[in-house]
Amino acid sequence: MRRPLFWLLMALSGAAALAGFWIAKRKNQPPEIGFARATRETINSTVPTNGKVEPVEWGAARADRAGAVREIRIQRGQFVMAGAALVDLDASEAEAERASAEARIAQIKAELETLHKGGRAADLAEISGSLERAHLDLEAAQKEYAALARLEKQQAATSAEVAAAKEKADQAQAQIQALEKKKAALVAAPDLASAQARLQDAEAALRLADDHIRQSVIRAPIGGFVYQFDLKPGAFLNAGDAVASIGRLERVHVNVYVDEQDLGRVAKGMPVAITWDALPGRVWMGAVDKTPIQIVPLGSRQVGEVICLIENPNRDLLPGANVNAEIKTDSVENALTIPKEALRREGSRTGVYLLEGDRVVWREVKMGVNNTTRTQVEGLQDGDAVALLSDKPIKNGMTVRPTFP
């Protein structure tokens, strides 16, 4: 039993010694440091930031009156012409008011026609018949009076008979005058004025009902694509409520938020590249259209709002989208560049640790155009290897084991 235990202890001791030797050797070896080579390329200086998409030309369709949504004729993303019907509001009350106004107008017009003709046909017929009879009676009475007057001169008739005949003629004349007044009374001026006033009131009610019916159809203010719309049938709208946003999307504005310290690098006409996380791999190009006129707070940042005009031929960059933007502020061809992570600061100086043999040497450099990952430098040669940042400390003249990721 003791012999196997002895050999086991011996094996463990050997392993520990070997591990100690390996660790000591590793400690004595130079640190492994990653390097990258200076290369020549065309480098574009950019201002990376974020922004929000807005249509260049747009309009909001709004409700002209209050009401419940009866029918929806569109959907988000649909193209509509200017004036196209988008949503119908419930117009049953207005339609009932219109029918009532039309009935009143028809009734009053018939009444006016009767008044203009002199009254109701039955009343007119009765009075006309009475007048015709009265005229016949007057004619007969006048003939009788004239005949008796001649006979009186011939002493063939008495004065009493002549007076009775004259009275009869006067009565017939009085009856005719009474009937004419009765006929005139069928159409009094106040009746005609009242009917005209009631007609105007009914016509105004009809126009109001027509306006309500017309306002029940919400129409597109401009032609374009519906990019905001979320109504449901039955929803209630107040007058002035926004129903849909419609815009032309072939070109869009992107409001880009540029940090205050970078605004001096941005000018009108500079190229802009837009990307959107919702459609990875897509890039939309355009240019700076307007530079900011004021600085505003945005969270913890102080920014200027740079308006960029972006081509959107497929209309897939949607208004309201939060996007990434890169403004190309400068470009240098055949520039000597290195990764930004190779730059180090020693006091007020900027430089790199250059690989010479198996040692690193401090070399001061001047920076030129840079982008998010690389920077143009002066003070190096094409192909020079510079140390990348790592968690291992580096000093001038230190021996290293270089690797090139």
Q: What is the pLDDT of residues 146-180, one digit of tens each?
A: 887 887 788 777 888 778 878 887 887 888 787 67
Between 224 and 190, the higher pLDDT residue = 224
End-to-end CA distance of the chain: 54
DSSP per-residue string spanning 371-395? -SSEEEEES--TT-EEEPP-SS---
Question: Residue 124 CB: number of other CB atoms within 10 A?
Answer: 16
pLDDT of residue 168: 82
> 3-class SS at 30?
coil
Q: What number is the average pLDDT over the span 53-74?
A: 93
Q: What is the largest CA-CA distance in the chain?
A: 195
Read off the tokens for 85: 């019907």
Q: pLDDT tens, 377-401?
A: 999 999 999 999 988 899 999 999 9
pLDDT of residue 158: 82
Q: pLDDT tens, 298-311?
A: 999 999 999 999 99
- 10 pLDDT above the threshold of 90: no
CA distance 293 to 308: 14
